[in-house]
Amino acid sequence: MKKYIDSINSAINSVLAYKLRSTLTMLGIIIGISAVILITSIGDGVYRSIYAEMNEFNMSSIMAMARNMQPTIDIEDVSAISNLPNILGVSTVSEIHNLYFPLRGGSEAHRDTLIGLDHNYTMIENISMLYGRFFSEQDFINASYVTVITSTTSLDVFGTINSVGMNLDIEGRFGRFSPLVIGIIDFDEDSLSAFGTPFGQSFATMPATTVANRAGREGIFHQIQIILENPTLSMATSDQIARLLNLRHDTEDAFMIMSLTTVVDGIDAVLMAITAFITFVAGISLFVGGVGVMNIMMVTVTERTKEIGIKKSLGATGTLIRLQFVAESIIITVSGGIIGIIFGLLAAHFVANIITSISPLSINMVIAQGPIVISVLVSIFIGVIFGVVPAGKAANLDPVESLRYE
């Protein structure tokens, strides 16, 4: 009906009549909304980027290790775990530090780590062989004295990358032994060993059984990686493994059980906390902005006192007067909201580019509808809430007094 349109037209004219004032009034809304849009866009982009990186790793494995290196996990533990539901296989890792690999043709010795792996390891990590081969199941069964080393170690010790067929001397607290080099692996510098404890660039690996024979109890399983059949159940399976290990070793919470999903969840939780915090701060800005709108609307009502008096004398009801001013308030807040959305998206685009260029993450900006719709709704809501009081004041003006107002 035209009378409502008339009210809204009056509201639009009022906002346009004082452009600078209207823009300044919107400022709090603009800042609050753009902050929310910025943080939700960036947070979403970062999360998706990390998730994509994580997916390059095998999401279906869980790592278990003792928090303080003790107690070590033994073969019976591995059997017991293999018998739990949802377990596809268990791969054992043992790290023997501070052994020495004497350099050929020199008196120096290279201090390095010997790692015992089992045949399941290839299920977990992408091993790219430069030369030769990885261990076979026979090597494990026979506990052969064979070794696979990194290209860096080969270069350091032998002076050449391809040292297949040569013997690697290993000295240290387990005596001296010289396994045959059967393969050279290329270890990617950037990749983490599943959970952030990289083996480093330079190490030698041998079958876990051989290492166990050589190093006794010390050679047994500092870390095991459990491969799951169903990765979505990793939380439940992690709990089961933890309980089993603690039970078997009569400890409480001595073991750290990590899966990529817990890491991703951890990152997610941090991102959510940051987003929540920034949204809260933005909420304060929106509130203050709303108060600013209400303040200006009170001024507007006073300025329009005569006009309101005239309209009332002609038959405008309180409702129509109220509508005019709530409409004006909403026009201001929604305009601010839309400007805030645009600024927020531009800022997010800009920040995404910066993050992409200075960090290993590559953020792809996607314009999410959810936050935009919510921002518009919140803007309308603020307009209504903070427009109601001034509108009420206008509607209740005494016609006689208003007409006298100059």
What residues make contact with other proteins under the rule CB under 8 A?
A: 1-3, 6, 13, 306-307, 309-320, 399-400, 403
Type of residue at 95: E
Nearest to other proteins of 13, 230 (CB atom): 13
What is the SS3 assignment for the chain?
CHHHHHHHHHHHHHHHHCHHHHHHHHHHHHHHHHHHHHHHHHHHHHHHHHHHHHCCCCCCEEEEEECCCCCCCCHHHHHHHHCCCCEEEEEEEEEEEEEEEECCCCCCEEEEEEEEECCCHHHHCCCEEEEECCCCHHHHHHCCCEEEEEHHHHHHHHCCCCCCCCECCEECCCCCECCEEEEEEECCCCCCCCCCCCCCCCEEEEEHHHHHHHHHHHHCCCEEEEEECCHHHHHHHHHHHHHHHHHHHCCCCCEEEEEHHHHHHHHHHHHHHHHHHHHHHHHHHHHHHHHHHHHHHHHHHHHCHHHHHHHHHHCCCHHHHHHHHHHHHHHHHHHHHHHHHHHHHHHHHHHHHHHHHHCCCCCCCCCCHHHHHHHHHHHHHHHHHHHHHHHHHHHCCCHHHHHHCC
Nearest to other proteins of 126, 319 (CB atom): 319
Nearest to other proteins of 98, 317 (CB atom): 317
Nearest to other proteins of 22, 34 (CB atom): 22
d(CA 269, CA 275): 10
What's the closest the beta carbon of residue 311 comes to other proteins, in angstroms? 8
Nearest to other proteins of 243, 306 (CB atom): 306
What's the closest the beta carbon of residue 401 comes to other proteins, in angstroms? 10
What's the closest the beta carbon of residue 310 comes to other proteins, in angstroms? 5
Query: Are the CB atoms for 202 and 150 separated by under 8 Å?
Result: yes
What's the closest the beta carbon of residue 11 comes to other proteins, in angstroms? 12
What's the closest the beta carbon of residue 7 comes to other proteins, in angstroms? 10
What's the closest the beta carbon of residue 326 comes to other proteins, in angstroms? 17
Q: Rounded to 5 degrees, what are φ and ψ at 88?
A: -85, -40
Nearest to other proteins of 102, 318 (CB atom): 318
Q: Tokens at residue 173, please?
A: 């607290």
Type of residue at 82: S
Nearest to other proteins of 309, 344 (CB atom): 309
Nearest to other proteins of 130, 320 (CB atom): 320
Nearest to other proteins of 101, 325 (CB atom): 325
The Cα-based distances of 99 to 20, 73, 203, 319 in angstroms read 75, 21, 10, 87
How many residues in the chain? 406
Nearest C-alpha neighbor of 245 from the set 68, 76, 60, 61 = 76
What's the closest the beta carbon of residue 394 comes to other proteins, in angstroms? 13
What's the closest the beta carbon of residue 331 comes to other proteins, in angstroms? 16
Nearest to other proteins of 81, 397 (CB atom): 397
Nearest to other proteins of 65, 327 (CB atom): 327
Q: Tokens at residue 274, please?
A: 């940051």
What's the closest the beta carbon of residue 301 comes to other proteins, in angstroms? 16
What's the closest the beta carbon of residue 338 comes to other proteins, in angstroms? 25
What's the closest the beta carbon of residue 13 comes to other proteins, in angstroms? 6
